[in-house]
């Protein structure tokens, strides 16, 4: 039996391992090995909710042992160090793994873009550890600023100014969540109510530059209504302790700074000899196969996939990663010598952007839901993923 090794048990990798096993029941052509350095699957799309104390960390990590129970998948907990795509091996902290076919689904990491002081003085928002550190820092900022003997609070106090840099999906969702978190904290220390400030700075002329303009307008108006200061056309120059210096000469004085302005693929991919885009992704063909190495496929945030219909790259989202995994599972399960599979066609069911605990903007084709109905759709998207990986959702066939 040939060995298929999947690197990463996130949205793409875990889904592929589970679906391939389900589709191949009884006549599995592949011995499947799933490698991840964590022993849990992270519901990454909710980490900003942990950061703002809306959900406990335990709610967004599901042990892989639970999710793979009953599946014929070998799970190895190890950090991937290097890939040898010529020798068909993967070097990990638990030794070398040989493969016949490899799927890279290693997600992405924060890209600090070499901005001076950024990595040293700002929190990232990519891992569970990032979210927990940020949450602690916000609570500590409130505690210190209102401690006995602390200097009196003033309006827009830098000690209670929370600067979020990057107004894409992550930054915008975090800003909405922070409104609720600060409100909660002010219930305990009412004196802080007129002193705290949330600032969201974005390089582009509007929020959510990856979506169509109306979404950014909607999010901007909603957050401004909740007293979030939105600065557009505001790229950053450097970060020093307590301040963000913008390219336009302005400064945001803030003790707790969060960088939500960029991601890149895992550097180990480029270091392993793959040709990559500037942000470290591997360009794949219409079958999600590396253009350079025949036995390697790449999905999710690690892949650069060109959508021939609109000339744009396929967005890096959990939803796309899962659908790419479903596509590969079908191809691998039904593979026959000399028969080409159907090419991958990017498809999206829409997108939901949370703007706080009780509301979201949900867009699906011409359908736009806001407020509580939008939030219901957002929560359904979380539930759908969780029930899917827990294997309690009937298979929905599209097309």
Ligand X SMILES: Cc1cc2nc3c(=O)[nH]c(=O)nc-3n(C[C@H](O)[C@H](O)[C@H](O)COP(=O)(O)OP(=O)(O)OC[C@H]3O[C@@H](n4cnc5c(N)ncnc54)[C@H](O)[C@@H]3O)c2cc1C
Residue 189 to residue 191: CA distance in whole angstroms? 5
Binding status of residue 270 toward ligand X by CB under 6 A: no
Residue 387 to residue 58: CA distance in whole angstroms? 16
**Binding ligand X by CB under 6 A: which of 9, 118, 182, 244?**
9
For 59, 63, 382, 383, the CA distances from 44, given in Å and listed in that order, are 11, 14, 10, 13
Binding status of residue 239 toward ligand X by CB under 6 A: no
User: Which range in 169-177, 238-246, 287-295, 368-376 contacts ligand X by CB under 6 A?
Assistant: 169-177
Binding status of residue 106 toward ligand X by CB under 6 A: yes
Query: 1, 30 in Cβ contact below 8 A?
Result: yes
3-state secondary structure of 81: strand
Query: 180, 228 in Cβ contact below 8 A?
Result: no
Binding status of residue 169 toward ligand X by CB under 6 A: yes
Residue 240 to residue 342: CA distance in whole angstroms? 52
Tell me the site size for ligand X, rule CB under 6 A: 35
Quick note: the x/- pattern for ligand X over 343-382, rule CB under 6 A, is ----------------------------------------
Pairing state between β 2-7 and 30-36 = parallel
Binding status of residue 107 toward ligand X by CB under 6 A: yes
**Binding ligand X by CB under 6 A: which of 10, 216, 280, 346?**
10
Pairing state between β 40-42 and 61-63 = antiparallel
Binding status of residue 55 toward ligand X by CB under 6 A: no
Binding status of residue 272 toward ligand X by CB under 6 A: no
> Min. distance of Cβ 173 from ligand X in angstroms?
6
Radius of gyration from C-alpha coordinates of the chain = 22
Binding status of residue 80 toward ligand X by CB under 6 A: yes
Binding status of residue 202 toward ligand X by CB under 6 A: no
Phi, psi of 276 (to 5 degrees): -130, 165
User: Which range in 83-91, 230-238, 277-285, 310-318 contacts ligand X by CB under 6 A?
Assistant: 310-318
Is 11 or 259 the residue whose CB approaches ligand X more closely? 11
User: Which range in 41-49, 146-154, 177-185, 361-369 contacts ligand X by CB under 6 A?
Assistant: 41-49
Residue 127 to residue 115: CA distance in whole angstroms? 20
Binding status of residue 38 toward ligand X by CB under 6 A: yes
Binding status of residue 110 toward ligand X by CB under 6 A: no
Binding status of residue 37 toward ligand X by CB under 6 A: yes
Is 163 or 186 the residue whose CB approaches ligand X more closely? 163
Q: Element (H or E) spanning 325, and its range?
A: helix 318-333
Query: 236, 258 in Cβ contact below 8 A?
Result: no
Residue 361 to residue 355: CA distance in whole angstroms? 7
User: Which range in 39-47, 139-147, 232-240, 363-371 contacts ligand X by CB under 6 A?
Assistant: 39-47
**Structure tokens, 342:** 């159907």
Binding status of residue 318 toward ligand X by CB under 6 A: yes
Q: Which residues, including other chains, have CB under 8 Å from residue 294's CB and lie 6 or more apart?
A: none
Residues at the site binding ligand X, with contacts judged by CB under 6 A:
8-13, 35-38, 42, 44-45, 47-48, 79-80, 105-107, 125-126, 169-170, 173, 266, 268, 300-302, 316-319, 321
């Amino acid at each position: 039996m040939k060995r298929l090794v999947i690197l990463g048990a996130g949205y793409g990798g875990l889904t592929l391992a589970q679906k391939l096993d389900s589709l191949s029941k009884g006549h599995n052509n592949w011995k499947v090995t799933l490698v991840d350095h964590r022993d849990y699957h992270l519901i990454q799309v909710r980490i900003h909710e942990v950061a703002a104390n809306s959900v406990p960390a335990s709610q967004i990590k599901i042990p892989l042992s639970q999710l793979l129970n009953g599946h014929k998948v070998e799970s190895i907990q190890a950090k991937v160090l290097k890939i040898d795509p010529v020798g068909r091996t993967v070097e990990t902290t638990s030794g070398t793994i040989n493969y016949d076919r490899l799927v890279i689904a290693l997600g992405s990491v924060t890209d600090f873009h070499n901005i001076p002081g950024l990595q040293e003085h700002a929190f990232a928002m990519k891992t569970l550890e990032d979210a927990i550190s940020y949450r602690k820092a916000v609570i500590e900022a409130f505690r210190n600023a209102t401690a006995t003997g602390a200097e009196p609070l003033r309006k827009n106090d830098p000690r209670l100014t929370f600067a979020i840099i990057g107004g894409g999906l992550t930054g915008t969702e975090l800003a909405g969540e922070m409104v609720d978190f600060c409100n909660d904290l002010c219930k305990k220390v009412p004196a802080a109510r007129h002193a705290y400030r949330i600032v969201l700075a974005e390089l582009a002329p509007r929020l959510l530059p990856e979506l169509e303009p109306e979404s950014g307008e909607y999010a901007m108006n909603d957050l401004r209504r909740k007293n979030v200061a939105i600065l557009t056309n505001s790229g950053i120059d450097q970060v020093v302790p307590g301040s963000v210096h913008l390219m336009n000469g302005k400064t945001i004085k803030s003790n707790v700074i969060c960088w939500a302005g960029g991601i890149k693929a895992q550097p180990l991919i480029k270091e392993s000899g793959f040709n990559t885009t500037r942000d470290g992704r591997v360009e794949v063909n219409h079958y999600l196969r590396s253009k350079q190495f025949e036995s390697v496929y790449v999905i999710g945030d690690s892949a650069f996939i060109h959508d021939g219909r609109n000339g744009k790259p396929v967005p890096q989202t959990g939803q796309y990663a899962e659908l790419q995994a479903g596509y590969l599972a079908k191809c691998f399960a039904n593979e026959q010598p000399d028969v080409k599979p159907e090419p991958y066609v990017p498809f999206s069911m829409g997108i939901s952007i949370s703007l706080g605990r009780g509301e979201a903007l949900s867009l699906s084709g011409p359908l736009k839901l806001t407020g509580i109905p939008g939030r219901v759709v957002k929560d359904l998207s979380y539930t759908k993923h969780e029930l899917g990986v827990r294997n309690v959702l009937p298979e929905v066939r599209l097309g």
